[in-house]
């Protein structure tokens, strides 16, 4: 079918994997290339750390298709089982939870994998609990009305030993429940080293799946929790209506069935390296670690949520400037509407002019996704560029709801000979808090408190690793509407060095006295800014007096909330909050906390 090569991304100095597939015209199956292209689109639509990242795809001049993806350091589950035999109960639980999590997200998007099996699950840690990466969505089935079925009538797509009865009868009948059947078969093999239905041929497997009963797991391995056998009996029921109805139910009931495996899970988890210390975090952010050290830390981060949150906050301070769409007119800059940059990104419009570049709304023509393009200065010093590349290599790894994802950097030569560097990143489809306040004026207290608590939640993650925002203001707070109609806050972190905006006059009124005096600053400056921003949300304008104190107007709000804001804007930083969690808790105790709903 093809080959996989290790390659190096020249701009980001990042090792990647490239899968090559020869021209589809050389195969009997004319839909092979279409499946290959669909794999890229489907994989990128599922946002999960347990799905291999797709960076690009296309074809070479001779028609060979390729797909550029994350280079995984690990082995397939199939290889692990052949090397070690059955895995521990703790390992099985981790594999079930992580794989089911991916399937839950895929099924919510109308995507059915159709080929879950050990060969398509990569374990990226050799010590401690496994971290799963799900591969190969090339056979995926889409349930959207305009999706094209790439399976010919009667074709058998998938691996028979892992296929549900309904999928064996007709691949077009594959459903989310079929994916869960395949995962159940995989877990049976993980725990016993055997398949529930084994035969020398595909036809033999199909007969057994439809007619035979599988052997109890305890027949192959003693000491397993008693609740496993009834769980497998339900998971592998021939009637889909008798199986688990969702990936979430599948994973949660499997964890319950393991029961006595909890202690062994804790023992296995003890094998994982200890959490990162401050020096390791700083060295990682600065790019001072060796490849071996980076690999060990990445393996730890894959399974340690607290460390991930701390590192994400650290890296977020170096992520690219995220700017909301501005209503102010902007010059078009080096790109005009309709221009295709780097033979990939079609520019839709220029949405904002920056001091040292422009921000564009664009379409990724390969992955059919909306992205943001931000141009860099025409002339950029080599050391600045090297620092930018180091920052990007780490920023790309961030998967956090309050951090805008960074995709790639292009050192791009226009046909006219003018060099234009630009970044591609996630497009934040929303508005800034500044735009909201201009449009709506003062917000209801409950809504303002709800937004402020989200801001404090983001600051808490930053402060936990010693990072101070220093430039918090309404322009740096982006709002987007969530799936349930609620408003989600996304804080714009400090810019990368090459993108720093030195125009700070409009930011002076949000700065604490010690900042204005040029003295040392701490987390208190962020709480001061929060207090000023809160006053704008509640009154539609700032209510700070010339002496940087609290104006009498604050007396019009409830006393508890007033005390919170007064504490935030104390002139003495020692008297302000020192912990964002404490400030958020104080807001919650004001009695006005509620989800921030849409303001449209």
Please give the domain boundaries of the chain with CATH numbers for all domains: 3-70 (3.30.200.20), 75-269 (1.10.510.10), 340-426 (3.30.200.20), 431-588 (1.10.510.10)
Q: Residue 255: its pLDDT value, please?
A: 94
Under 8 Å between Cβ of 120 and 134:
yes
| List of E strands, 344-458 | 345-354, 357-364, 369-375, 406-413, 419-426, 431-432
Under 8 Å between Cβ of 507 and 473:
yes
- Residues 276 and 255: their CA atoms lie apart, in Å, by 28
Q: Is 73 a catalytic residue?
A: no
CA angle 195, 199, 202 (to 5 degrees): 105
Q: Residue 161: its pLDDT value, please?
A: 92
- Residues 586 and 561: their CA atoms lie apart, in Å, by 8
> Quick one: what percent of the chain has pLDDT higher than 70?
66
Q: Residue 19: its pLDDT value, please?
A: 87
Neighbours of 52 (CB within 10 A): 18
What is the helix, strand, coil percentage profile of the chain, to 5? Answer: 45, 15, 40
DSSP per position, 477-515:
EEEEE-TTSBEEEEE--PPPGGG-----GGGGGGS-HHH
Closest CA to 479 of 438, 429, 527, 437: 429
Provide the token pair at 150: 């790439």
Catalytic pick among 56, 91, 115, 361: 115
Block residue for tokens 């195969």: 27
For the chain, which ranges sit under pLDDT 50? 24-28, 144-156, 260-274, 315-330, 415-416, 494-503, 545-551, 597-600
Q: Residue 309: its pLDDT value, please?
A: 55
- Give the C-alpha distances (Å, rounded to integers) separating 417 from 231, 375, 410, 422, 423: 65, 16, 15, 15, 19
Under 8 Å between Cβ of 250 and 180:
yes
What predicted TM-score, i.e. pTM, was given to this entire model?
0.51
Q: Residue 21: its pLDDT value, please?
A: 77
Who's near 286: CB < 8 A, 6+ residues apart? 390
φ, ψ of residue 597 in degrees (nearest 5): -95, 170
Q: Residue 270: its pLDDT value, please?
A: 36
- Give the C-alpha distances (Å, rounded to integers) separating 273 from 94, 130, 277, 304, 513: 17, 13, 11, 10, 43
- Residues 381 and 379: their CA atoms lie apart, in Å, by 7
Closest CA to 339 of 233, 258, 245, 416: 416
Provide the token pair at 209: 């799946």
- Residues 298 and 284: their CA atoms lie apart, in Å, by 10
509-520 in b/e form (b: 16+ CB < 10 A) is ebbbbbbeeeee
Q: Residue 503: its pLDDT value, please?
A: 45
Q: Which residues pair with 486 in a beta bridge?
A: 597
- Give the C-alpha distances (Å, rounded to integers) separating 84 from 79, 161, 265, 491, 530: 9, 21, 18, 46, 54
């Amino acid at each position: 079918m093809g080959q996989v090569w290790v390659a190096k991304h020249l701009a980001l100095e990042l090792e990647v994997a490239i899968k090559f597939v020869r021209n589809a015209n050389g195969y009997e199956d004319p839909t092979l290339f279409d499946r290959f292209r669909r794999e890229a689109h489907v994989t990128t639509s599922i946002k999960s750390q347990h799905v291999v990242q797709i960076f690009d795809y296309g074809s070479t001049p001779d028609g060979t298709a390729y797909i550029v993806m994350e280079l995984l350091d690990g082995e397939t589950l199939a290889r692990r089982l052949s090397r070690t035999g059955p895995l521990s109960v703790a390992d099985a639980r981790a594999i079930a939870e992580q794989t089911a999590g991916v399937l839950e997200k895929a099924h919510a998007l109308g995507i059915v994998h159709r080929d879950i099996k050990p060969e398509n699950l990569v374990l990226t840690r050799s010590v401690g609990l496994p971290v799963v990466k799900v591969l190969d969505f090339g056979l995926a089935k889409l349930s959207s009305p305009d999706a094209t079925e790439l399976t010919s009538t009667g074709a058998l797509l998938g691996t028979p030993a892992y296929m549900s009865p309904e999928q064996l009868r007709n691949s077009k009948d594959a459903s989310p429940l079929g994916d869960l059947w395949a995962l159940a078969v995989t877990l049976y093999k993980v725990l016993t080293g055997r398949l529930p239905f084994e035969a020398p041929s595909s036809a033999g497997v199909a007969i057994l799946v439809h007619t035979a009963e599988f052997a109890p797991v305890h027949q192959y391995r003693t000491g397993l929790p008693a609740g496993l056998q009834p769980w497998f009996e339900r998971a592998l029921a021939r009637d889909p209506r008798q199986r688990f109805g969702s990936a979430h139910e599948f994973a949660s009931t499997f964890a319950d069935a393991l029961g006595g495996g909890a202690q062994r899970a804790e023992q296995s988890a003890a094998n994982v390296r200890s959490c990162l210390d401050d020096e390791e975090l700083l060295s990682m952010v600065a790019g001072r670690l060796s490849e071996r050290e980076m690999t060990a830390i990445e393996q730890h981060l894959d399974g340690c949520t607290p460390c991930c949150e701390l590192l994400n906050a650290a890296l977020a301070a170096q992520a690219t400037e995220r700017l909301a769409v501005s209503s102010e007119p902007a010059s078009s800059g080096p790109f005009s509407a309709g221009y295709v940059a780097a033979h990939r990104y079609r520019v839709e419009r220029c949405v904002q002019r920056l001091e040292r570049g422009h921000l564009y709304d664009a379409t990724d023509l390969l992955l059919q996704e909306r992205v943001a393009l931000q141009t860099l200065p025409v002339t950029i010093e080599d050391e600045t560029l090297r620092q930018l590349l180091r920052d990007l290599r780490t920023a790309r790894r961030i998967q956090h709801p309050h951090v805008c994802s960074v995709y790639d950097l292009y050192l791009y030569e226009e046909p006219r000979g003018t060099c234009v560097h630009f970044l591609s990143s996630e497009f934040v489809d929303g508005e800034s808090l500044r735009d909201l306040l201009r449009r709506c004026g003062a917000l209801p207290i409950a809504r303002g408190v709800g937004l402020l608590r989200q801001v404090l939640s983001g600051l808490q993650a930053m402060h936990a690793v010693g990072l101070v925002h220093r430039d918090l203001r309404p322009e740096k707070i982006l709002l987007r509407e969530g799936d349930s109609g609620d408003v989600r806050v996304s804080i714009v972190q400090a810019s990368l060095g090459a993108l720093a905006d030195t125009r700070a006059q409009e930011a002076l009124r949000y700065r604490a006295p010690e900042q204005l005096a040029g003295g040392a600053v701490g987390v208190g400056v962020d709480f001061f800014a929060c207090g000023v921003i809160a006053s704008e949300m509640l009154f539609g304008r700032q209510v700070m007096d010339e002496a940087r104190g609290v104006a009498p107007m604050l007396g019009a709000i409830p006393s508890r909330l007033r005390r919170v804001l007064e504490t935030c804007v104390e002139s003495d930083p020692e008297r302000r909050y020192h912990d964002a969690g404490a400030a958020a808790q104080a807001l919650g105790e004001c009695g006005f906390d509620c989800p921030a709903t849409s303001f449209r």
